[in-house]
Structure 1
Amino acid sequence: MKKYTACRHRKQFVMLDEHHHEVGRIVDNSTLFSLRHYIIYNCRSYDIRNVGFMKNDLELFNSKGVIYFTDLAKERIIRSGEAVRIYHFDLKKTNRLSEKGRLLIEIREERRWFKDSVFHIEADELTDDLLVLMFLHYSTKEFNGIGGDGD
């Protein structure tokens, strides 16, 4: 299993590997009139767009098209393109993402007094780091009550 930590740094989520090297970051570029989220991974930018009923779902895309999108109603993330894959998530105290019953990603939040929380992430060796970043963003957002605040 690969192990990561993620924490907020200003308006960004920075994800680090075991050796404290940056893997990627989730940027929140909010102004008074616009809201934009995107992921920087391997020196490339991937935009995040809120879609669906009440904007509870996400699409992760770049200039080539949509890479991943969520389906909150069926609790899944879908990889689009030629190699379509369907992942199922469970958002509770420990957020989990699995494929065909096999656990791929697990995210636990460590809350600290008077400081931002730190997220501890374990991912399967074959799991795409971009998927880890997208799931981190989705599972830590508060879309009408979803997120890691439940049991």
Structure 2
Amino acid sequence: MFDEHRNEVGRIVDASKIFSLRHYIIYNARSYDIRNVGFMKNDVELFNARGVIYFTDLAKERIIKSGEKVRIYNFALRKTNQLYEKGRLLIEIREEKKWFKDPVFHIEADESTHDLLVLTFLYYSTKEFNGIGGDGD
């Protein structure tokens, strides 16, 4: 993910080994692991050595920030994926498909939104591993 000045904010990494695939996010020179959990692995947990930071709840269409200051964000996965907190739009992600190239995702985020939350929502809302990506209605 790059900011409007083309500086890297963070990145999502898919590292494959012989018998496994590891997903993680690099943000501020720190690595945050992503683990697929729940029924049919449709939810994710983002964690580091300190514990789980964000986790998703597909059944209730929300992302939850764990820890001392718990926060609950609701999402809508459509052609434009959106994340809200208490009815206020925080993140909007649109996909631009290009012929024979990887798609490009355009992100608009409220300035108060933590970049790690943006990267988590980007990963969760665009991954095809669970069939929930916003490619339909």
TM over 0.5: yes
Mapping of residues 119-130 of structure 1, within 5 Å: 119-130=105-116
**1:134 paired to 2:120:** yes
Contact 2:57 2:63 in 1 (8 A): yes
Structure 1, 140-149 or 26-35: larger mean CA deviation: 140-149
Question: Counterpart in 1 of 2:73?
Answer: 87
More strand by share: 1
The list of structure 1 runs, each at least 4 consecutive aligned residues, that deviate by more than 2 angstroms after superposition, is none
SS at match of 2:2: strand
Return the TM-score normalized by structure 1. 0.88
Unaligned runs of 5+ in 2: none
Q: Provide closer, same or farther for how the CA distance between residues 144 and 49 of structure 1 changes in structure 2, counting only shifts above 3 A.
A: closer
Higher RCO (CA 8 Å, separation ≥ 6 residues): 1
For residues 2-151 of structure 1, the aligned pairs below 5 Å read 15-151=1-137
Paired residues of 2:96 and 2:106 also in contact (CA < 8 A): yes
Write the distance in 2 (CA, Å) between the matches of 1:17 and 1:108: 15
Other structure's SS at 1:145 match = coil
CA RMSD of aligned residues (A): 0.8
Deviation at 1:100? 0.5
Residue 150 of structure 1 and its aligned partner are, at CA, apart by 1.2
Name the TM-score, length of structure 2 as normaliser: 0.97
Same amino acid, percent of matched pairs: 82
Write the deviation string for residues 53-104 of structure 1: whole angstroms up to 9, x where unpaired. Answer: 1111000000000000000000000000000000000001000000010000
Deviation at 1:132, TM superposition (A): 0.2
Unaligned runs of 5+ in 1: 1-14
Rounded Cα–Cα distance in structure 1 between residues aligned with 2:51 and 2:131: 29
Worse overlay, 24-33 or 45-54: 24-33
